[in-house]
Amino acid sequence: MKVLSNTFRNQHGFETVALVVVVLVLGVVGFAGYKVHQNSAVDTTGTTTGSKTATVPASINSQADLAAASKSLDNASADVNSQVNGNTLDSDINDLL
C-alpha cells in the first residue's frame, strides 16, 4: 500500500504539463484557423458592374422611385440567374439532403 501512495504523490507536476499541452494545442488550432480564414477572404472590390447598377431611393415616394427600385431588383435577379448553374445547384442540394 505504501508503494501505491508514493506513486500518487509523485504526480504533482503532471497537471502543469497537461495544462501546457492543452494551451499549445489550442494555440496551434487557433493559428491554423486564422491563417485559413485570412487566405480564404474574398476580395470584392471592383466586382460590381457599373452599367447594371441602378440608384435605389432610400424610400419610395413616387411612381418613379418604384420604377427605379423595380429596375434595380430586375438587374440583380438577372445577375444571379446568369451565375447559377442549375445542375450544380440541384446536385449540391441533393448532397445536403
pLDDT digits (tens, 9 = 90+) for 38-92: 887 665 554 554 445 556 667 778 888 888 888 888 777 766 667 777 777 778 8
Residue 76: inside a domain: yes
User: Are residue 1 and residue 34 in the same domain, yes or no?
Assistant: yes
Query: Would you place residue 31 in the very low, low, confident or very high pLDDT band (cuts 50, 70, 90)?
Result: very high
pLDDT at 20: 93
Q: Which domain does 67 fall in, by range?
A: 61-97
Residue 83: inside a domain: yes
pLDDT at 9: 64
Q: Which long-range contacts (CB under 8 A, 24 or more apart) does 72-79 make?
A: 78/52, 79/49, 79/52
Residues 6+ apart with CB under 8 A from 66: 60
pTM for this prediction? 0.35
